[in-house]
Structures are given as C-alpha cells and as structure tokens.
Amino acid sequence: MINRISRVGRAVLVAMLWPFMQSWHGICGVGRLIKRVAMAVFHSPVGAYQAAQRRRNWVMVKVEYLQAESGKWRAIFNIIKSPYSFLRMMGFSPQMATGLILAGSTVGGGVVVSETVFAERSFARGDSGIYSAPSDIPSSYSDSDNTLRINLGSVPVGEIVIEDVTLGTAFTGSTLPAQQTSVVLVGGTAASTGFTATWLEVGHLIIDRWRCTTFELSDVEAHTLNVIGNASDGQSISPVPGTPRRRGIGGGNRADSMVTSGGYYDQIVIAAPVSATNGKVETLRLSNLHTKGGLCKVSRIKADTVDILLNEVGAGNGFASKEFVIATTVSYKTATITDNVEVTISPP
C-alpha cells in the first residue's frame, strides 16, 4: 500500500516537473549548438591553412620534379653543343664552327645531332651567304666565304635590320675576301661595260654606333640629312644643298622584313646588282657594327632621310688624315649637322 502511494507520488511529481525538464533540455541543446558553432569558427582558420598547406605541398612536389627534369635536359644540351662551344673558344666564327661540325658529321645508326640542329642556313639566324631579298634562305654560300650579302632587285622590302655584329679582321681567323678593301659596302652599283648603273632607294637609312677605321658617305641624295654626335680621328664633312625629293617605298605587296642580330662576318654587302634595276627598302638600319681591316663605304643612295649617328671612326694617325668623310657628292634638301668632334681614336 505504501509503495503504491510512493509510485503515485513520483508520477505526480514527474508530471508537475515535466514542463521544466523539457525547458532545461532545450536550453542545454541551444548551449551545445552555440558551443559547436563557436568551436567551428575558432578552428576554421586552422582548417583553411591546413588545406592550403596540402595544396602547396602538392604543387611543390611537381615543381621540384620539373626542375630536376629541366636540369637533366640542360646537361644533355650542353653535352650536345660542346664541340661547337670548343670551336668558338678557339676563335672560329659561328658560321665557320657550324661548317666544320657539319663537314665532320657522319650518319651512323641514327641522325647526327649537329646535322639536325644546324641543317638549314638562315638570314634570321645570322648565317653568311648570298641572300636575294626577301628570302631568308641563301641562294648560294660557301664554307670558305664568310661574307653576308643581300642583293636587292625588283621586289621592295619593308625593313632590313643588321645589328650587333663584328666584321673584317676584328676577330681571330678572319680576313677580307680576295680583291676587297672594304669591310662594309652599302649602295647601288656604278656603271661599267654592259652594265647600267643602279641606285639603292631607301625611305629611312640609319647608320648608328659603327666602329670603323675609315668611313665614307658619297654619291647620296637625301631629302633630310642628319649627321649628329660622330667622333673621328680626322673628319671632312662637306655635303652640299640641293633639291632631293621626299621619298617613300611602296610597291603594293611589299616583301616582309629581314632582321638579324649578332654574328661574325668577313664582310657585309648590301647591293643592287641587277643592271638598270634599283634596289628598294623602306627602312635600312645598320646598328652597332664593330669593324676592322677596311673601309666602311655607303654610296649611290637615294633616300628620304639619312641618319648618321654616334659613330666612332679612326686609324690613330692624327687629324690631318680624314678618316670620317661625307663627300661633296652628298646633296640634301634639309640638314642637321651638329656635335661632331675630332678626337684621337686608335684603330679598332
């Protein structure tokens, strides 16, 4: 009887306290939720950092692998080019070194590397030879002749650029071609028996930073002539005013540019060698030529603008001998001739 009353009392007590217990459980649930949210917010930067760290480590593994592979390929190419580097160290020109490698190559069980790498000569790559503008492949060449020659004819060319080259006897093993006294020859061709004279027609001729023993500009018609900042061991600058016209080189489907940088040559020739056919180029820029052993000659040019800028010319024999010459056969419509000085300059 007493136990029954106790059970009834507990049941009554539970029934009375039930709403309060439900409220307490709800409050505890909200507290746990707030705690989980707070912990998630607290740990989220750490988790993001750890995720970024895993991605970083994955990338670094790939980078280290590629660097290792790159080092292996670089070592292989150094081994391949070692004969060429040795010949260059011995003083051979790039063209001569290439020719010797090709001449000494033989084909055995596979393709010889030197024949694969150096198979085709190219103006853009700086190979010597005779080029009929605007072709990038020489029409003829000889391993014994290290002259770079461009023949201009009936096809106008947009631009010819030759820069940063060494010429003549300025490097070991070089010599001027037989019967030649000029290390640079630019211009048309004088008349001779059975040959009608030609001119080189140029929109803009730029000659800058040449180093020559002697320099001569002659038989030139320029609407605008600029001779600025040249230094020479004796100079004679005597152009005459005239009436050369403005000039631009069109020709419709004009040929692409011819550009080369760097190289070693016995001689550079840019000529118009076809009888009665003038060569035509819109922009002719010859920059940073280091020459020795002969004359730098520019002649038989008809141009809109001629710039002769910042060249150094001298043979170290005093001011009485004129190494830098702009002859009286040069005529102009307008001219700027300034800051040209005579100073002692030894041969290159």
Residue 204 in contact with residue 315, Cβ under 8 Å? Answer: no
Domain borders along the chain are 1-89, 128-342
Q: Is the pLDDT of residue 79 over 70?
A: no
Q: Is the pLDDT of residue 166 over 50?
A: yes
Give percent of the chain with pLDDT exceeding 90: 47
Q: Is the pLDDT of residue 205 over 80?
A: yes
Question: What three-state secondary structure class fits 81?
Answer: helix
What does the pLDDT read at residue 259? 93
Show the tokens assigned to 293.
């052993």
The larger pLDDT score, comparing residue 348 to residue 146, is at: 146
The larger pLDDT score, comparing residue 214 to residue 110, is at: 214
Average pLDDT over all residues of the chain = 82
What does the pLDDT read at residue 290? 95
Compute the distance between CA of residue 230 and CA of residue 115 in angstroms, rounded to an integer.
44
What does the pLDDT read at residue 72? 73
Question: If we measure between CA atoms, which residue out of 319, 317, 315 comes closest to residue 295?
Answer: 315
Supply the pTM of this predicted model: 0.67
- The tens digit of pLDDT for each residue in 10-66 reads 666 666 666 666 666 666 666 676 777 666 656 566 666 677 777 778 777 777 777
Residue 115: pLDDT band by 50, 70, 90 thresholds? very low
What does the pLDDT read at residue 46? 63
Residue 233 in contact with residue 320, Cβ under 8 Å? Answer: no
Task: Provide mean pLDDT across the span 94-106.
Answer: 55
Compute the distance between CA of residue 186 and CA of residue 206 in angstroms, rounded to an integer.
12
- The tens digit of pLDDT for each residue in 225-263 reads 999 999 999 999 999 999 999 999 987 777 778 999 988
Rg of the chain over all Cα atoms, to the nearest angstrom: 39
What does the pLDDT read at residue 44? 61
Q: Is the pLDDT of residue 286 over 90?
A: yes
What does the pLDDT read at residue 11? 64
